[in-house]
Structure 1
Amino acid sequence: MSEVPADNPYRASDVAMPDMPTDQEIADAVSVHDRFPLLAKAVGQYFGHYARRWHLQQGDDRLARPWHWPALLFDFYWLMYRKLYLLAFTYLGLSFVAGAVIALVPAAETGALLAILALKLVLCLSANQVYRWHCERLIRRTQARHPDQPDRVLAELERRGGTSALALVIGIAIMFAITLFAEA
Structure 2
Amino acid sequence: MRVEPTLGSASDWQSLAPRTPAGRPPLDETALYAAAIGPKNQDHYLSRFKAFDRRGGTRLGWHWPAFLWTLYWLLYRKLWWHALAYFFAPYLLLTAAAVLVPAVGADRASLVFLAVFALLFVVPALLADGFYFKHCRRLIERARAESSDPREQKAYLERKGGTSRLIAVLFYVLFVPGLIGIVAAVALPAYQDYTVRAKIQQALVQAKVAGDAVGDFYGRNRRVPRDLAEAGHATAPSPDVRDMRVDARTGVITVTLGTSAVAGLSFVLQPEAGADGRIAWRCGSQEIPARLLPRECR
Tell me which interval the TM-score lies in, with the shorter structure as reference length: 0.5 to 0.7
Cα–Cα, structure 1 residues 48 and 57, in superposed 2: closer, same or farther, change >3 Å?
farther
CA RMSD in angstroms, aligned pairs only: 3.2
Aligned amino acid, residue 66 of structure 1: G
Matched with 1:47 is 42
Q: Which has the higher strand share?
A: 2
User: Is residue 2:143 matched to residue 1:149?
Assistant: no
Q: Map of 1:1-184 to 2, 5 A cutoff? A: 35-45=29-39, 46-56=41-51, 59-61=54-56, 63-64=58-59, 66-101=61-96, 107=102, 110=110, 111-144=112-145, 146-169=146-169
Could you list the per-position Cα deviations for residues 25-81 of structure 1 after superposition, in whole angstroms to 9, with x for gaps in the alignment?
A: xxxxxxxx9651111100011221112223449944353451111111111111111
How many matched pairs? Answer: 142
Larger Rg: 2
Could you list the per-position Cα deviations for residues 84-129 of structure 1 after superposition, in whole angstroms to 9, with x for gaps in the alignment?
A: 0100110111112223456788647642452232332221111101
Distance 1:57 1:130 in 2: 12
User: Per the alignment, in what secondary structure is the counterpart of residue 83 of structure 1?
Assistant: coil
Distance 1:121 1:66 in 2: 11
Distance 1:41 1:118 in 2: 31
Distance 1:47 1:64 in 2: 19
TM normalised by structure 2 equals 0.41
TM normalised by structure 1 equals 0.63
Q: Matched residues, percent identical?
A: 35
Distance 1:57 1:116 in 2: 28
Check whether the contact 1:54–1:64 (CA below 8 A) recurs between aligned residues.
no
Q: Give the Å deviation of 1:169.
A: 4.7
Distance 2:166 2:144 in 1: 26
Check whether the contact 1:44–1:158 (CA below 8 A) recurs between aligned residues.
yes
Q: Which has the higher helix share?
A: 1
Check whether the contact 1:70–1:78 (CA below 8 A) recurs between aligned residues.
yes
Aligned amino acid, residue 161 of structure 2: G
Structure 1, unmatched stretches of 5+, are 1-32, 177-184
Structure 2, unmatched stretches of 5+, are 1-26, 104-108, 179-298
Cα–Cα, structure 1 residues 71 and 102, in superposed 2: closer, same or farther, change >3 Å?
same
User: Per the alignment, in what secondary structure is the counterpart of residue 61 of structure 2?
Assistant: coil
Distance 1:118 1:135 in 2: 24
Higher RCO (CA-CA < 8 Å; seq separation 6+)? 1
